[in-house]
Amino acid sequence: MKFFIDSADIEAITEFTKSGMVDGVTTNPSIIAKSGRDFKDVIKEICSITSGPVSAEVTATNAEGMIEEGLVLSKIAKNVAIKVPLTWAGLEACKALSDKKIMINVTLCFSATQALLAAKAGATFISPFIGRLDDIGEDGMDLIRDIKTIYDNYPMLKTEILAASVRNIEHVKKAALYGADIATLPPQVVSELANHPLTDKGLKAFLDDWNDSGQKIL
């Protein structure tokens, strides 16, 4: 499974890139607004750090506006993916932009039928929001499983499942088990993936034994 970093934090993206954990980046207007920087400047800098897809979200709500903004944002770098909402206007924009060979991330997906529409409109990625479904008492992972089943039923659908609104390690594990192609993760969740108390305990024991031996490698 590929990992996208859900952040506009340049330092965090750069750091995780060093360990090969960044296959792409997702952003949204809220994330970039918190950085206090110009939207297009941030997208351009992120695209210079990773060669993977970098999602840049439109802010227009009508199809014509989304298409116009998408064309502008797509010119920032070759690896920009235009992010549009799963509305009828968003689907229209998805079709128009994907016909121009522009990567499209259709976001705010909360049902399998929505995901089917996005795939038929030519979406590169579909972003089902796991955590937000959990918040209203549903199991967000059921949506991942349902979308995977539908897409597998129709091999002509090439849309990748991008698990979004990921809150914890359990979300990551289940998304991988249920066949999501990608998970987009906040930096904190990425950091937690490598942590386990038995790893820390085992490392301490090894180092204590090594120090007691008096040996050195260098």
Q: Catalytic residue among 34, 75, 83, 148, which?
A: 83
Q: Considering the domain boundaries, does residue 218 fall inside one?
A: no
Nearest to 47, CA basis, from 85, 13, 3: 13
Instruction: Tell me if 97 sits within 8 A of 71, measured CB to CB.
Output: yes
Does residue 29 carry a pLDDT above 90? no
- For position 123, which CATH number holds? 3.20.20.70
Q: What is the pLDDT of residue 26?
A: 97
Q: Considering the domain boundaries, does residue 107 fall inside one?
A: yes
Instruction: Tell me if 10 sits within 8 A of 32, measured CB to CB.
Output: no
pLDDT band at 69 (very low <50, low <70, confident <90, very high): very high
Tell me which amino acid residue 86 is: L
- Could you report the per-residue pLDDT of 164-207, keeping only the tens digit for each? 999 999 999 999 999 999 999 999 999 999 999 999 999 999 99
- Could you report the per-residue pLDDT of 113-171, keeping only the tens digit for each? 999 999 999 999 999 999 999 999 999 999 999 999 999 999 999 999 999 999 999 99
Total domains in the chain come to 1
Does residue 33 carry a pLDDT above 90? no
Can you give the residue range of the structural domain that contains 70? 2-213
Percent of the chain's residues with pLDDT above 70: 100
Tokens found for residue 30: 């809220």
Tokens found for residue 170: 């359990």
Q: Considering the domain boundaries, does residue 196 fall inside one?
A: yes
Tokens found for residue 203: 């490392």
pLDDT band at 36 (very low <50, low <70, confident <90, very high): confident
Does residue 28 carry a pLDDT above 90? no
Nearest to 79, CA basis, from 48, 56, 54, 49: 54
Whole-number Å distance between alpha carbons of 128 and 163: 6
Residues paired with 26 in a beta bridge: 6, 55
Q: Considering the domain boundaries, does residue 121 fall inside one?
A: yes
Residues paired with 54 in a beta bridge: 25, 80
Q: Considering the domain boundaries, does residue 61 fall inside one?
A: yes
Nearest to 85, CA basis, from 48, 119, 126: 126
Can you give the three-state secondary structure of the chain, one letter per residue? Answer: CEEEEECCCHHHHHHHHHCCCCCEEECCHHHHHHHCCCHHHHHHHHHHHCCCCEEEECCCCCHHHHHHHHHHHHCCCCCEEEEEECCHHHHHHHHHHHCCCCCEEEEEECCHHHHHHHHHCCCCEEEEEHHHHHHCCCCHHHHHHHHHHHHHHCCCCCCEEEEECCCCHHHHHHHHHCCCCEEEECHHHHHHHCCCHHHHHHHHHHHHHHHHHCCCCC
Tokens found for residue 164: 């979004």
Q: Give the chain's mean pLDDT.
A: 96
Q: In the annotation, is 83 catalytic?
A: yes
